[in-house]
């Protein structure tokens, strides 16, 4: 049986749609009163594991799931040994440096050396500021990072920006992007090597479907 790790939250609905196009119907996970974390597909050929965003690459890396869908941001931050199979195109956002609008900083290199930067993505932030050769103190937060500059715990933040509404509501502005992110199909390397065809055909159908969607847009 094929097991697919799906991230709860913003990516779930589109993930289900994409697997449906490849013949696996996981729509039961979208039923609002579903409390189950392991949900069989309607055809019985596969099952979905409903886990947190950050746990998708863990389940795939350990082979408990052969496939998974997760944001590129998570893959960059956690660097687990998984195969990157496909950019699914949805869930688009940017990993950005943001500062208080009133601060006057126009780019990341305007930040004063040794200032504090708050983020959930401290590995990505570390790489970015190292490459800039700007020494900063990173403060690891687990949620509501936009509170950072408001409370004074940090001069800037590194966070995901989709519509930009959260930044705007908090008087913040994005000044520089680290990278763009979107949902990715990932696979367990060993399962892919031992694959008798099923994983490959799902991946190919999703690839065709993603390409078609792009050409229509």
Give the residues lining the site for a copy of itself (CB under 8 A).
3, 37-38, 49-55, 58-59, 62, 64-65, 116, 139-144, 147, 150-153
Rounded Cα distance between 139 and 59, Å, is: 27
Nearest to a copy of itself of 38, 212 (CB atom): 38
Contact between 133 and 209 under an 8 Å Cβ cutoff? The reply is: no
Residue 212 vs residues 18, 59, 195, 208: alpha-carbon distances, Å: 12, 29, 25, 6
Nearest to a copy of itself of 26, 59 (CB atom): 59
Q: Measured from the CB of residue 202, what is the shortest distance to a copy of itself in angstroms?
A: 20
- Which helix (H) or strand (E) segment holds residue 132: the answer is helix 122-132
Q: Measured from the CB of residue 131, what is the shortest distance to a copy of itself in angstroms?
A: 26
Q: Measured from the CB of residue 143, what is the shortest distance to a copy of itself in angstroms?
A: 4
Nearest to a copy of itself of 86, 145 (CB atom): 145
Q: Measured from the CB of residue 205, what is the shortest distance to a copy of itself in angstroms?
A: 25
Nearest to a copy of itself of 58, 124 (CB atom): 58
Rounded Cα distance between 166 and 148, Å, is: 13
Q: Measured from the CB of residue 116, what is the shortest distance to a copy of itself in angstroms?
A: 8
Contact between 96 and 104 under an 8 Å Cβ cutoff? The reply is: no
- Which helix (H) or strand (E) segment holds residue 200: the answer is helix 198-216
Residue 136 vs residues 12, 32, 157, 212: alpha-carbon distances, Å: 35, 43, 11, 44
Nearest to a copy of itself of 36, 109 (CB atom): 36
């Amino acid at each position: 049986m094929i097991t697919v790790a799906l991230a709860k939250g913003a990516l779930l609905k589109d993930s289900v749609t994409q697997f449906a196009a490849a013949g696996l119907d996981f729509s039961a996970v979208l039923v609002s009163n579903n409390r189950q974390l392991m949900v069989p597909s309607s055809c019985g050929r596969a099952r979905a594991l409903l886990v947190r965003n950050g746990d998708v690459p863990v389940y795939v890396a350990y082979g408990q799931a052969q496939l998974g869908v997760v944001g590129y941001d998570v893959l960059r931050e956690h660097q687990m040994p998984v195969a990157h199979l496909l950019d699914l195109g949805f869930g688009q956002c940017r990993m950005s440096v943001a500062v208080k609008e009133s601060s006057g900083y126009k780019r990341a290199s305007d930040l004063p050396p040794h200032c504090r930067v708050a983020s959930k993505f401290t590995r990505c932030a570390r790489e970015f500021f190292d490459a800039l050769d700007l020494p900063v103190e990173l403060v690891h937060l687990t949620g509501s990072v936009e509170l950072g500059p408001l409370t004074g715990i940090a001069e800037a933040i590194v966070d995901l920006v989709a519509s930009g509404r959260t930044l705007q509501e908090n008087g913040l502005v994005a000044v520089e992007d680290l990278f763009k992110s979107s949902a990715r199909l990932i696979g367990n390397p060993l399962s892919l090597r031992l694959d008798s065809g099923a994983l490959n055909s799902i991946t190919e159908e999703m690839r065709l479907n993603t390409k078609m969607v792009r050409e229509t847009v």
